[in-house]
Amino acid sequence: MQGMEKQKQENNKEKMETDSENSEQYQQVLTILQRLETALAALRQRVEPVNPELFKAMAQTYTDEIIEIRNELKETIKRNSVRRT
């Protein structure tokens, strides 16, 4: 029985470490997403009023990246919620 209890404790410790790493990575991704959105907003404010077509061209990369990150976050959250149930 002691062996099983020790294994449970080790598994819990590993899970906590993994959860902590995932949380840290999640926060890093959110920070990147926020910076991209801020940069896009600044670009919109400065460029769009002067040259809407240039803004559209410049914003495409930011927009694509934001969409990709959001989709990846949704998939990760979905996978994690399925694992926990």
For the chain, the straight-line distance linking the first and the last C-alpha, in angstroms and rounded, comes to 27
For residue 82, what pLDDT is reported?
A: 75
For residue 85, what pLDDT is reported?
A: 59
List, for residues 47-64, the tens digit of each pLDDT value.
Answer: 999 999 999 999 999 999
Distance CA 46, CA 51 (A): 9
Q: Is the pTM of this model over 0.75?
A: no
Distance CA 2, CA 65 (A): 50
